[in-house]
Amino acid sequence: MRIPLAKYGTKELLLFGIPCIVGAGFAIAFFPWIVPIPLFLLSFLLNFFRDPNRDTPQSAELIIAPADGTVSHIVPVFEENYLKCDTTKISIFMSVLNVHVNRVPVHGRVEFIKHTKGKFLDARDEECFSSNENNLMGLSLMGRHTKIAIKQIAGRIAKRIVCACKVGDIFEQGQRFGMIKFGSRVEVFVPKSVKFEVMVRVGEKVTAGKTVLGKICNEDL
């Protein structure tokens, strides 16, 4: 049976997984009491880079969670790079135990990508929103006069952002588009001009490609 692993983690799985397997074999032969150490490291790698299949609700009205984790903030902010307007920001904190593959929350076209170098503050720190290394992706929803933005933010441990897309790409709702390696934060920005009903609350656990963050009212078609 195939273990669903993220293609974005192939390098790390080979770089660290092979030594763990070799180390486990060496330990079994010569030092059986240390076998749990390489096995633990291998299980951590497999758990971190797991990429389970998800059945995503398909609806032009819904905005789906782009990441697994816990909703840490639902606040008004001005998004200055792509939307350039007042927005509702929903932040999701991902611990090292969460699935880290990111998924597109809407059926949309990529119109904007900007990678910004910065600090590596704890992803739970509100300052990381403006100071940490991040990648912003702007999406125009198919069939609607609506745009949203998604920001992948590096954390204290997470220092590698993968955004496997380019301007012009069209994504289905729930389709994989990248990941952040080893703990991080993902944020969704919805313009205040859009009639948007938030359907999650701070502290709630969400699942990428499954949990509905909110609903766009029909008049924004």
**Could you list the active site residues?**
184
User: Can you list the positions of beta strands (E) in the chain?
Assistant: 62-64, 69-79, 85-94, 101-103, 108-116, 134-141, 147-154, 161-163, 170-171, 176-180, 184-191, 196-198, 205-206, 212-216
For residues 120 and 157, what is the distance between their CA atoms, to the nearest angstrom?
Answer: 8
**35 vs 53: CA distance, rounded Å:** 31
Tokens of 103: 């998924």
Cα–Cα distance, 24 to 33 (Å, whole number): 11
